[in-house]
Structure 1
Amino acid sequence: MTVDAPTTVVNLGEKKARKLTSSRRPVWMEKPSAATQGVKGLVLLLICIAVIYPFMIVIGTSLSTQEEIARNNGFVLFPAEPTLAAYQTIFAGGIVTEALLRSVGITLVGTALSVTLTVLMAYGLSRRGLLGGGFFLMTALLTMLFTPGIIPTFLVVKELGLLDTYAALILPTALSAFNLVIVRSFMMGIPSELTEAARLDGAGDLRILWHVVLPLSKAVIAVVGLFYAVGYWNAFFNAMLYVDSDKWPLAMVLRQYVLLGSSIDQSAAAEIAAPSQAIQMAVIVISIVPILCVYPFLQKYFTKGVLTGAIKG
């Protein structure tokens, strides 16, 4: 039996085409062209300018004199005669210095407490077979889906005797259901062979958490800790509701400087009333710098694969 030559050629061509198609790499794995790289570089440059330019204006305005600010319609990028008068005025008054120390303390204590509660609850809920685990997880998720509101929260804080205390700035937001779900999902992805091996060696839950789970969870804990720290550092609404002006954190003082230009508490009004543009910008710089100093130390955990090589098959 013979086969027509044209049919054989067509079959061979189809096989070759299928082979070439199957061996071709995906588009995203191909090396980008010079034009594509140029466009990406231009886009990144524009994004950097859009982010850095306002920040440079804030710094430049904080280092300018009132006359130079007036000549430039309120915003200065490169001051002709830089001066630290605005910063000297702020720290000489005492309100910003005290508020800065309060914010540092609230952020450190609140972040440590929140991370501890989140890790402990996430570890418990990540263990299979936990009695009542589904109920506690659903309770936490309901707090994320249905928030209690301002008035019920205020009444709870009042009945607990937390008004005009620093605890009122920490305890109502000590545990975030969103962060809890993130940490729990990460811990559930840790290979069970590691925890089972530790349990066979006689380790209890606390020892497994400390020596096995936490070292593998550094990345997610660092990210969640940064979320908590930024939240505590920038929070001002709870301070407005629960504490007097002598316990205001830096975010609340910043709000008074930038938005109102006066203080709710008359004892502090003399120092906050009618601030100049330079003083407003200087307070913004002071509130941003601590977060900028902390972020570089946590950046590596955002992309680091901590489980790579944990188990070799």
Structure 2
Amino acid sequence: MNEIGATLRAPARTGRPVGARDSRAYKVFTSVNTIGLIAFCGLMLYPFVTVLAQSFSSAGAVKAGLVNIWPVGFNTDTYAAVISNSMFWQNYRNTVVYTVVGTAIAMVLTTTFAYVLSKQHLRGRTVLIGIAIFTMFFNGGLVPNYVLISSLGLKNTMWAVVLPGALSVFNLLVMKSFFENMPRELEEAAQIDGLGWGGIFTRIVLPLSKAVIATMILFYSVAMWNDWFNAFLYLDKKELFPVTLFLRNLIAGASTTATEGAAATGGNSDAIAANIQAVTMILTMIPILCVYPFVQRYFVSGVMLGSVKG
């Protein structure tokens, strides 16, 4: 019995018949594929490692182009300057609030709208889908959008940042396809038990959609965390800026943060200005880097949605 059990388990573990050996071509393919993936990962990590090294390097080394993947002239004065800047932390807090509120609104709109569109018997379903797809290719334009936000009294408010991007049609279509592939028998059984559409959606559909929901949350949160253009258009008060707009102003040379930070720490403003951009980039990326490992499992499952049916 033990031998039979081992024989039955072996194919599931290896994916090949028991005793089969890898051919030379397969070994070559595996080696080339592994080397290629490692090289690709290195290319993806290189910019981040370079920016990290610049954030801990001296101004002279950064200006001279001596910094590659290892800090030159190690220093932490710039980190001290940025961390001591109250405006940076206020903008950082704004970004967290905008991201949390905007993602919550986006998920409510996307899940409810996608679930409605997934129903074949819905009257006007084709028209609604057509309207949604139409907005992917055409929009009112920059000036009309600005006039609309201003006329609604949303300028210089949080809503001017979170509402314009509250619904992504791409995410809507992905979630609609997922809901369409769910077994109808589950909903029919829930209806027999007396649940209405709202109960079916909240108690049956959403708990079974954790993978796609986690994927959509990741998409929305990353997009809203990195967004600065809406804030650049609709916000005039610095205390309302997100941290990405703070960073944009540093890169554009439209901020005096370097001088303020130097005064706060007693350092040299030129030295701080040389790598303050790198420091701000690293501090801005930390939350996303910390959150992603916790949703990676759901993200991988969500990406594979629809690739296999059965």
TM-score of Structure 1 vs Structure 2, range by shorter chain:
0.7 to 0.9
Root-mean-square deviation (CA, aligned residues, Å) is 2.6
1:42 paired with 2:35, answer yes
Q: Give the match for residue 183 of structure 1.
A: 175
Shift of residue 146 of structure 1?
Answer: 1.1
1:266-289 deviation digits (Å, cap 9, x = unpaired)? 8x7954897623211011111111
Which of 235, 248, 252 does residue 241 from structure 2 map onto?
248
1:201 aligns with 2:196: no
Q: Deviations over 1:58-106 (max 9, x none)?
A: 1111011223334x52634322553321111011122221111110110
2:274 is aligned with 1:277 = yes
Tell me the CA shift for residue 254 of structure 1: 0.9
Work out which of the two has the higher radius of gyration on C-alpha atoms and give 1 or 2: 1
With structure 2 as the length reference, what TM-score do the two structures score?
Answer: 0.82
Deviation at 1:131, TM superposition (A): 3.0
Aligned to 2:60: 67
Aligned to 1:262: 254
Unpaired stretches in structure 2, ≥5 consecutive residues: 1-16, 262-268
What is the DSSP-based 3-state SS (H/G/I as helix, E as strand, rest coil) of the residue aligned with 1:173? coil
Equivalents in 2 of 1:83, 1:270: separation in Å?
18
Name the CA shift for 1:262/1:78 in 2 (closer, same or farther; >3 Å): same
Contact kept? 2:57, 2:67, Cα under 8 Å: no
**Any conservation in 1 of the 2:58–2:72 contact (CA below 8 Å)?**
no
Of the structure 1 ranges 33-42 and 178-187, higher mean CA displacement relative to structure 2 is found in 33-42
1:119-134 equivalence runs, <5 A: 119-134=111-126
How many percent of aligned residue pairs carry the same amino acid? 36
Report deviation, 1:297. 1.4
CA deviation string 1:26-75 (max 9, x = no partner) = xxxx87622212111211121122112221111111011223334x5263
TM-score w.r.t. the length of structure 1 is: 0.81
Specify which of 26, 33, 40 is matched with residue 33 of structure 1.
26
Taking the aligned partners of 2:62 and 2:177, their CA distance within structure 1 comes to 51
How many residue pairs are counted as aligned between the two chains?
A: 276
Contact kept, 8 Å, 1:74 with 1:277, in 2: the verdict is no
Cα displacement (A) at 1:163: 0.7
Runs of 4+ in 1 over 6 A off after TM superposition: none
Greater RCO (Cα-Cα under 8 Å, separation 6 or more): 2
Which range moves more in the overlay, 114-123 or 78-87?
78-87
Question: Where do 5+ consecutive residues of structure 1 fail to align?
Answer: 1-24
- Residue identity in the other structure for 2:87: I
- The one-letter amino acid of 1:99's match is N
